[in-house]
Chains A and B, each alone.
Chain A
Amino acid sequence: RKEVEQDPGPFNVPEGATVAFNCTYSNSASQSFFWYRQDCRKEPKLLMSVYSSGNEDGRFTAQLNRASQYISLLIRDSKLSDSATYLCVVNEDNAGNMLTFGGGTRLMVKP
């Protein structure tokens, strides 16, 4: 069983649509959680951290459910530039030493 699981997609959506990605993790002792964005042939870039209370950054909203070991990312009003692979990342210790990456969910926003 993979430690961090994501639906690989691709999610094909029109501009302006709202799209949601989900992620589950297996280690209940995981400490912190992130969504990264990775463009083709580029390094991952931190999109946002995910907090238990839920957090929002512009069009992006992240939620964490520790009881269900489930993380989500909601993108509202999708832009063409949102097309990328979104990686769910779990930090399994306090010192940032054990990042485990999900397989990523590919998003394609069409005009």
Chain B
Amino acid sequence: GAVVSQHPSWVICKSGTSVKIECRSLDFQATTMFWYRQFPKQSLMLMATSNEGSKATYEQGVEKDKFLINHASLTLSTLTVTSAHPEDSSFYICSARELAGDTQYFGPGTRLTVL
């Protein structure tokens, strides 16, 4: 149990385009989902916390207008990187927390490359 999927697994796009990444909890309901970013040889950095039905809470230094987060249901959160630039190239990982738990389960990640 506690499986989290992400789609797509990897994406290559041109500078200036927008990219949407989906995060789904497959066999449990997640009131809270988290979005992380990991640059090469660095650790995961929390970008934002997303609660179902409400606005996401962004970490300091993360532009909310650039990284749009929607958490419309208990099993799906999306992250849209708007007007992506090469410096946005990174490994984006989501995690989901069960309704009655405190453990975060991680998705397999999405590798974004912006040319």
Which A residues have a C-beta under 8 Å from some C-beta of B? Answer: 32, 41-46, 87, 91, 94-104
Chain B: interface residue total (CB-CB under 8 A): 21
Q: Do residues B106 and A44 form an inter-chain contact, with CB atoms below 8 A?
A: yes
Q: Do residues B109 and A103 form an inter-chain contact, with CB atoms below 8 A?
A: no
Instruction: State the main secondary structure of chain A at its contact with B.
Output: loop
Supposing A43-B93, A96-B97, A97-B32 touch, asked if A102 and B104 sit within 8 A by C-beta, the answer is no
Please tell me which one of the listed residues B43, B49, B103, B108 contacts residue A101 in the complex, with CB atoms under 8 A apart.
B43
Number of A-B contacts (CB under 8 A): 43
Residues of A within 8 A of B109 (CB): 41-43
Q: Do residues A91 and B111 form an inter-chain contact, with CB atoms below 8 A?
A: no
Inter-chain CA distance A50–B43, complex, in Å, is 19
Inter-chain CA distance A94–B103, complex, in Å, is 10
Residues of A within 8 A of B91 (CB): 41
Q: Do residues A41 and B111 form an inter-chain contact, with CB atoms below 8 A?
A: yes
B57 to chain A, nearest CB (A): 9
Please tell me which one of the listed residues A44, A46, A103 contacts residue B103 in the complex, with CB atoms under 8 A apart.
A46
Residues of A within 8 A of B93 (CB): 43-44
Inter-chain CA distance A42–B49, complex, in Å, is 21
Residues of A within 8 A of B97 (CB): 95-97
Residues of A within 8 A of B34 (CB): 99
Residues of B within 8 A of A94 (CB): 102
Q: Looking across the interface, which residue of chain A has its beta carbon closest to that of B36?
A: A101
Please tell me which one of the listed residues B45, B101, B103, B108 contacts residue A43 in the complex, with CB atoms under 8 A apart.
B108
Tell me which of A42, A43, A99, A103 has the highest count of chain B C-beta atoms within 10 A of its own C-beta. A43
Please tell me which one of the listed residues A42, A95, A102, A104 contacts residue B102 in the complex, with CB atoms under 8 A apart.
A95
Inter-chain CA distance A95–B43, complex, in Å, is 22
Tell me which of B42, B46, B49, B102 has the highest count of chain A C-beta atoms within 10 A of its own C-beta. B102
Residues of A within 8 A of B108 (CB): 42-43
Inter-chain CA distance A94–B102, complex, in Å, is 7
